[in-house]
């Protein structure tokens, strides 16, 4: 019997974040997450969803004729069969990225997958869930994302980058929480401190506000 996963939605849009921002991408949003971050904008993916086999998921993804696929959530790695889905997508020659909280083990993720790991800042309320041992599994093609809601988050993120010498290991993304902090303030702090990070704004929030499936 083929493995299946609970899926909240599969949709085609522009990538709103990461280093492929603006590129047409198929998003596969898995259902469920063990975290409850204060800034979460996908709480609708915590429950519900529809169970689909991996073949069914691949057929839907194929129908969009895209080059890029992002597997996201929720927390996609909360479903063990996510690893099989990632492998299957890579075997079909998609450029595959995984958006993960970093709270679960990433060591078994297919090496071909671009891992985008979200380290939880203090204002998330889930700081203790960070699995720092995951950092050793990141390479220069991967990315660590810090979602920043205030100056304390920024200072903590800067400290972590320095402590773990992240700029030597992987790409770093600093992203302001939408409507919680001025993007200009965050940009000014990064410039002032000359940080080796990429500033990013969630493009989809400006194009489609908070509509699911965009």
Distance CA 14, CA 67 (A): 12
> Is the residue at 92 inside a domain?
yes
> Is the residue at 213 inside a domain?
no
The residue whose two tokens read 């996609």 is 76
pLDDT at 117 over 90: yes
pLDDT band at residue 214 using 50, 70 and 90 as cut-offs: low
> Is the residue at 137 inside a domain?
yes
- The CATH number of whichever domain residue 78 belongs to comes to 3.20.20.70
Neighbours of 12 (CB within 10 A): 16
The tens digit of pLDDT for each residue in 35-89 reads 999 888 889 999 999 999 999 999 999 999 999 999 999 999 999 999 999 999 9
> Mean pLDDT across the stretch 160-188?
94
Sorted by sequence, the CB contacts under 8 Å of residue 144 that are 6+ apart come out as 102, 117, 118, 119, 135, 138, 166, 170, 171, 172, 173
Number of domains into which the chain is organized = 1
pLDDT band at residue 212 using 50, 70 and 90 as cut-offs: low
Q: What is the maximal distance between C-alpha atoms in the chain?
A: 56
> Is the residue at 156 inside a domain?
yes
Asked whether the beta carbons of 9 and 50 are under 8 A apart, the reply is: no
- pLDDT at site 54: 97
> Is the residue at 72 inside a domain?
yes
Calculate the CA 115 to chain-centre distance. 8
> Is the residue at 214 inside a domain?
no
Neighbours of 23 (CB within 10 A): 14
> How much is the mean pLDDT over the chain?
93
pLDDT band at residue 180 using 50, 70 and 90 as cut-offs: confident
> Is the residue at 64 inside a domain?
yes
Alpha-carbon distances of 29 from 19, 142, 204, rounded to whole Å? 19, 19, 16
User: In the 8-state DSSP scheme, what is residue 55?
Assistant: H
| Residue 176, domain extent | 4-208
User: In the 8-state DSSP scheme, what is residue 109?
Assistant: S
- pLDDT at site 154: 98
> Is the residue at 93 inside a domain?
yes
Of the candidates 178, 117, 105, the one whose C-alpha atom is nearest the C-alpha of residue 143 is 117
pTM, entire model: 0.93
């Amino acid at each position: 019997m083929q493995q299946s996963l609970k899926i909240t939605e599969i949709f085609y849009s522009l990538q709103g974040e990461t280093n492929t921002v603006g590129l047409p991408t198929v998003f596969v949003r898995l259902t469920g997450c063990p975290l409850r971050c204060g800034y979460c904008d996908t709480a609708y993916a915590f429950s519900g969803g529809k169970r689909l086999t991996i073949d069914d998921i691949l057929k839907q993804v194929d129908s969009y004729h895209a080059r890029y696929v992002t597997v996201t959530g929720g927390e996609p790695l909360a479903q063990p069969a996510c690893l099989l889905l990632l492998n299957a997508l890579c075997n079909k020659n998609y450029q595959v990225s995984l958006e993960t909280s970093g709270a679960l083990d990433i060591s078994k993720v297919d090496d071909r997958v671009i891992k985008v790991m979200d380290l939880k800042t203090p204002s998330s309320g889930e700081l203790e869930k960070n699995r720092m041992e995951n950092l050793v599994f990141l390479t220069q093609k991967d990315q660590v994302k810090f979602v920043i809601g205030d100056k304390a988050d920024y200072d903590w993120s800067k400290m972590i980058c320095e402590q773990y010498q992240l700029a030597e290991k992987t790409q770093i993304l600093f992203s302001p929480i939408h409507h919680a902090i001025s993007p200009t303030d965050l940009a000014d702090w990064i410039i002032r401190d000359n940080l080796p990070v990429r500033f990013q704004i969630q493009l989809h929030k400006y194009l489609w506000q908070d509509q699911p499936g965009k």
